[in-house]
């Protein structure tokens, strides 16, 4: 408490240090607890005064009119601003400078949803017929501010946008600590925290598609000191965009931190013809004084309400065949897998890669993408038959698609090499032996849409895993005219989002998983059309503890598909306990597991559906012990008087076995009960198991959960005593 007070005083004191030279009026974007303060000077310039809690006097910094330019909210290149601009344009007449002055400010209350208020700031360059509207949408309850822009060219000719970020927000604190989430295939969302010093740090992707393979577009900035889970003053941000992106953090001469976010990376110049406009991707911003947990809970709440498909529908339990069979299956083998899963509680069988092909059959990853016909040699009775056979065994049927891609060894590529993004007069650069289709070409877009129509319409397919395994290595489109060659990366992703949206609308009963060689594409624009995403091809639970921990900072657990497999050779209970903290599924050959494991799988699915999923799907999420800092890690969910705690041991360590709970009412009483034992008759080693404790005691003293050895795990249910 004292610490909080001190922080408030520090922030207030910083704010008194300065005032702006120019007179004008304040434009504040507020949510229930936070405020982004902008200033419209009499000179028309729009500057930032601060971003923080409503109750603190917001920090601002300023000085002479000359300095004021350095605080522009959407800084443009070439007219006094010397830092990292958000917008850089070459105008139709060759002018390389841009100045934006506010022309109009509108505040619009959403008609259907009281929670949403949008401020629209229309700006114009006084020397050019060039306009930018900044949209700031404030979601009151969730403290989320969504910022994006519309750039309009009404000049006499085309303009080139060299930079066109979505937002550029400033904060003025004595220090900043950046947490980012990077990695690669099978190693996604590694969390790193570093102190920012003077200069610029950029987290970015140039990959075009599968764009988040090496960095996920999400960040946390802790002000005043390193982050913590519960009390640090923090900003969290993410970009609703499946494509390349840039997140820049610049401590400049103002000593403020400028945070710039956009989908404009890799554009060697986006050409906007006369009369055209461009809408930039939506960026999301959250401020919290409750540390990382505070930020996560706000994103989860917002995501579930506004940016996930069917957020309230329980995620089905899948049985996938990728780890079990790869592409080596035929009809009988698949029906055999259905048969083995009968009665286990699996909801959907998901047939993965390898089911298609015409002239070339997909038996390895070097052919057939683009030829989405059932491979008759493997599946002579077709997909309808498989749907029927699965249904007869109590399961629905789902399928893998990789609609954006083409193999050079395919009928599609032989007929239409110009439909692929590639440098036709150079050697092709392939990724996983494939190329990306040019979705900026409407004919290709139509073809890709037809894949969904042809596969899903004739068959009662209830699930799609939408994969994308290749980056755009050569962003070269035969379709785009000479002056728009640089638009490819951005336009590709706009088209992709259109197709995703159309899929979600046209096939409302087909659930979908967003996958990109694992978690290579995870963002809230895509997720509007998917029930979940595939966090990683790495299903070793020992790695998944970390990967799910990373993504969980921004995405709720029911959006994270997590499957039990044999990867890593871990005990079945550890695999299942880790998967159950996400959206549970399996990827194994059930005929090959021991009778004990099979029995355990059945019990696990039952427990998950009955006791765990209702809490994890809707509950508030708390990180209790970080796997980055402890051999024993723990997370928990609390929902309406019920809770579930997951405890995982990643290294042998007999010490450090106390888990302090969070999110409970200190004065209420809760019964704790360990569940999910591998064998019947096993007893909990948790002292106090089955007994009731005050919330205060569980939070202050914690429970001792003796997981001890690597791969030890426990699941503890909590229920409030009435």
Query: Which residues here bind ligand GLA, judged by CB under 6 A?
Result: 322, 352-353, 365, 400, 467, 469, 515, 517-518, 534, 537
What distance in Å separates the CA atoms of residue 274 and residue 282, rounded to the nearest whole number?
24
Give the nearest distance from C-beta 581 to ligand GLA in angstroms: 20
Instruction: Kindly tell me which of 183 and 311 has the beta carbon lying closer to ligand GLA.
Output: 183
Using a 10 angstrom Cβ sphere, with 0-12 exposed, 13-18 middle and 19 or more buried, the burial of residue 111 is exposed
What is the chain's length?
722
Give the nearest distance from C-beta 312 to ligand GLA in angstroms: 26
Instruction: Kindly tell me which of 547 and 661 has the beta carbon lying closer to ligand GLA.
Output: 547
Residue closest to 286 by CA, chosen among 97, 485, 142 = 142
The two tokens of residue 306 are 């506004």
What is the layout of strands, in order, in the sheet containing 270-272? 87-90, 159-164, 270-272
Q: How far is CA 126 from the centre of its chain?
A: 39
Instruction: Kindly tell me which of 210 and 484 has the beta carbon lying closer to ligand GLA.
Output: 210
Give the nearest distance from C-beta 323 to ligand GLA in angstroms: 8
Q: Who's near 56: CB < 8 A, 6+ residues apart?
A: 8, 11, 12, 15
What distance in Å separates the CA atoms of residue 38 and residue 52, rounded to the nearest whole number?
12
Instruction: Kindly tell me which of 534 and 648 has the beta carbon lying closer to ligand GLA.
Output: 534
Q: Where are the beta strands (DSSP E) in 140-281?
A: 144-153, 159-164, 167-171, 176-184, 187-195, 199-205, 215-223, 233-240, 245-251, 257-262, 270-272, 277-279
3-state SS class at 404: coil
Instruction: Kindly tell me which of 149 and 469 has the beta carbon lying closer to ligand GLA.
Output: 469
Give the nearest distance from C-beta 470 to ligand GLA in angstroms: 10
Give the nearest distance from C-beta 449 to ligand GLA in angstroms: 21
Instruction: Kindly tell me which of 269 and 517 has the beta carbon lying closer to ligand GLA.
Output: 517
CA angle 388, 393, 399 (to 5 degrees): 55
Give the nearest distance from C-beta 397 to ligand GLA in angstroms: 16
Which helix (H) or strand (E) segment is 572 a member of?
helix 572-579
Instruction: Kindly tell me which of 84 and 353 has the beta carbon lying closer to ligand GLA.
Output: 353
Instruction: Kindly tell me which of 170 and 535 has the beta carbon lying closer to ligand GLA.
Output: 535
Residue nearest to ligand GLA (CB): 353
Give the nearest distance from C-beta 413 to ligand GLA in angstroms: 18
Instruction: Kindly tell me which of 563 and 623 has the beta carbon lying closer to ligand GLA.
Output: 563
Instruction: Kindly tell me which of 500 and 705 has the beta carbon lying closer to ligand GLA.
Output: 500
What distance in Å separates the CA atoms of residue 43 and residue 247, rounded to the nearest whole number?
29
Give the nearest distance from C-beta 700 to ligand GLA in angstroms: 43
Instruction: Kindly tell me which of 432 and 673 has the beta carbon lying closer to ligand GLA.
Output: 432
DSSP 334: H
Which helix (H) or strand (E) segment is 718 a member of?
strand 713-720
What is the layout of strands, in order, in the sheet containing 632-639? 620-625, 632-639, 642-649, 713-720, 669-675, 692-694
Q: How many CA atoms lie within 13 A of 190 on its CB side?
A: 11
Instruction: Kindly tell me which of 56 and 323 has the beta carbon lying closer to ligand GLA.
Output: 323
Instruction: Kindly tell me which of 183 and 517 has the beta carbon lying closer to ligand GLA.
Output: 517
Secondary structure of 424-451 as H, E, C letters: CCCCCCCECCEEEECCCCHHHHHHHHHH
Instruction: Kindly tell me which of 181 and 400 has the beta carbon lying closer to ligand GLA.
Output: 400
Please state, as a whole number, how many other Cβ atoms lie within 10 Å of the Cβ of residue 197: 9
Give the nearest distance from C-beta 463 to ligand GLA in angstroms: 13
Q: What is the DSSP string of 464-505?
A: EEE------SS---SSS-GGGGGGHHHHHHHHHHHHHHHHHH
Give the nearest distance from C-beta 357 to ligand GLA in angstroms: 13
Please state, as a whole number, how many other Cβ atoms lie within 10 Å of the Cβ of residue 225: 15
Give the nearest distance from C-beta 488 to ligand GLA in angstroms: 24
> Which residues share a beta bridge with 258?
170, 250
The two tokens of residue 635 are 């997370």
Using a 10 angstrom Cβ sphere, with 0-12 exposed, 13-18 middle and 19 or more buried, the burial of residue 199 is exposed
Phi then psi dihedrals of residue 602, to 5 deg: -60, -45
Give the nearest distance from C-beta 310 to ligand GLA in angstroms: 22
Give the nearest distance from C-beta 558 to ligand GLA in angstroms: 19
Give the nearest distance from C-beta 553 to ligand GLA in angstroms: 22
Instruction: Kindly tell me which of 87 and 535 has the beta carbon lying closer to ligand GLA.
Output: 535
Q: What is the DSSP string of 500-568?
A: HHHHHHH-TTSEEEE-BTTBS---TTGGGG-SEEE--S---HHHHHHHHHHHTTTS-GGGEEEEE-SGG
Please state, as a whole number, how many other Cβ atoms lie within 10 Å of the Cβ of residue 575: 29
> Which residues share a beta bridge with 171?
257
Give the nearest distance from C-beta 207 to ligand GLA in angstroms: 15
Give the nearest distance from C-beta 20 to ligand GLA in angstroms: 51
Give the nearest distance from C-beta 536 to ligand GLA in angstroms: 8
Instruction: Kindly tell me which of 72 and 535 has the beta carbon lying closer to ligand GLA.
Output: 535
Instruction: Kindly tell me which of 70 and 216 has the beta carbon lying closer to ligand GLA.
Output: 216
């Amino acid at each position: 408490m004292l610490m909080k007070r001190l922080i408030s005083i520090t922030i207030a004191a910083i704010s008194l240090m300065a005032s702006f030279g120019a007179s004008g009026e304040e434009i504040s974007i507020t949510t229930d607890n936070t405020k982004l303060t902008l200033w419209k000077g009499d000179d028309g310039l729009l500057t930032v005064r601060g971003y923080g809690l409503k109750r603190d006097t917001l920090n601002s910094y300023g000085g002479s009119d000359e300095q004021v330019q350095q605080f522009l909210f959407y800084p443009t290149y070439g007219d006094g601003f010397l830092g990292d601009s958000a917008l850089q344009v070459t105008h139709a007449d060759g002018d390389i400078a841009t100045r934006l002055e506010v022309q109009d400010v509108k505040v619009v209350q959403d008609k259907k949803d009281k929670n949403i208020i949008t401020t629209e700031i229309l700006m114009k360059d006084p020397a050019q017929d060039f306009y930018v509207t900044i949209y700031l949408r404030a979601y009151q309850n969730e403290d989320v501010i969504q910022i994006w822009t519309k750039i309009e060219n009404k000049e006499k000719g085309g303009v080139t946008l060299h930079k066109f970020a979505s937002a550029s927000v400033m904060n003025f604190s004595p220090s900043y600590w950046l947490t980012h989430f990077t990695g690669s295939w099978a190693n996604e969302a590694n969390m790193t925290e570093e102190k920012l010093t003077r200069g610029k740090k950029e987290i970015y992707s140039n990959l075009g598609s599968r764009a988040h393979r090496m960095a996920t577009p999400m960040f946390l900035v802790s002000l005043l000191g390193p982050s913590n889970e519960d009390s640090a003053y923090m900003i969290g941000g993410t970009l609703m965009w499946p494509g390349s992106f840039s997140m820049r953090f610049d401590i400049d001469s103002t000593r403020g931190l400028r945070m710039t976010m956009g989908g404009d990376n890799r554009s060697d110049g986006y050409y906007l013809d006369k009369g055209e406009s461009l809408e930039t991707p939506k960026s999301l911003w959250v401020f919290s004084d409750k540390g990382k947990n505070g930020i996560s809970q706000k994103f989860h709440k917002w995501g579930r309400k506004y940016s996930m498909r069917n957020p309230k529908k329980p995620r089905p339990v899948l049985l996938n065949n990728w780890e079990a069979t790869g592409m080596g299956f035929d009809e009988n083998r698949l029906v055999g897998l259905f048969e083995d899963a009968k009665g286990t509680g699996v909801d959907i069988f998901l047939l993965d890669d390898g089911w298609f092909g015409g002239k070339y059959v997909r038996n390895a990853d070097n052919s057939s993408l683009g030829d989405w016909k059932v491979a008759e040699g493997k599946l002579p009775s077709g997909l309808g038959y498989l749907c029927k056979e699965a249904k007869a065994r109590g399961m629905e049927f789902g399928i893998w698609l990789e609609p954006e891609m083409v193999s050079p060894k395919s009928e599609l590529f032989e007929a239409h090499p110009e439909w692929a993004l590639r440098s036709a007069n150079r050697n092709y650069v392939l990724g996983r032996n494939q190329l990306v289709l040019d979705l900026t070409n409407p004919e290709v877009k139509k073809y890709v849409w037809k894949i969904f129509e042809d596969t899903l319409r004739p068959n009662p397919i209830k699930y799609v895993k939408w994969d994308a395994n290749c980056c755009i290595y050569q962003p070269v489109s035969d379709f785009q005219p000479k002056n728009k060659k640089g638009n490819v990366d951005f336009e590709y992703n706009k088209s992709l989002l259109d197709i995703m949206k159309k899929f979600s609308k046209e096939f409302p009963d087909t659930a979908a998983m967003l996958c990109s060689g694992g978690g290579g594409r995870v963002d809230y624009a895509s997720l509007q059309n998917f029930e979940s995403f595939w966090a990683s091809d790495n299903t070793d639970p020992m790695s998944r503890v970390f990967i799910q921990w990373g993504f969980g900072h921004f995405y709720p657990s029911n959006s994270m598909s997590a499957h039990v497999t044999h990867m890593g050779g871990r005990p079945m209970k550890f695999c299942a306990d880790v998967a159950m903290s996400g959206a549970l599924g399996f990827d194994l050959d059930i005929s090959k597991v021991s009778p004990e494991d099979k029995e355990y799988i059945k019990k696990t699915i039952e427990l998950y559906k009955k006791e765990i999923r209702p809490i994890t799907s809707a509950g508030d999420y708390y990180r209790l012990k970080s796997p980055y800092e402890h051999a024993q890690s723990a997370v928990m969910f609390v929902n309406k008087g019920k809770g579930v705690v997951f405890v995982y041991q990643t290294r042998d360590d007999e010490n450090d076995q106390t888990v302090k709970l969070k999110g409970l009412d200190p004065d209420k009483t809760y019964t704790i009960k360990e569940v999910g034992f591998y064998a019947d008759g096993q007893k909990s080693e948790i002292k106090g198991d089955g007994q009731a404790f005050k919330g205060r005691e569980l939070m202050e003293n914690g429970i001792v959960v003796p997981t001890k050895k690597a791969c030890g795990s426990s699941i503890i249910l909590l229920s409030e005593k009435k």
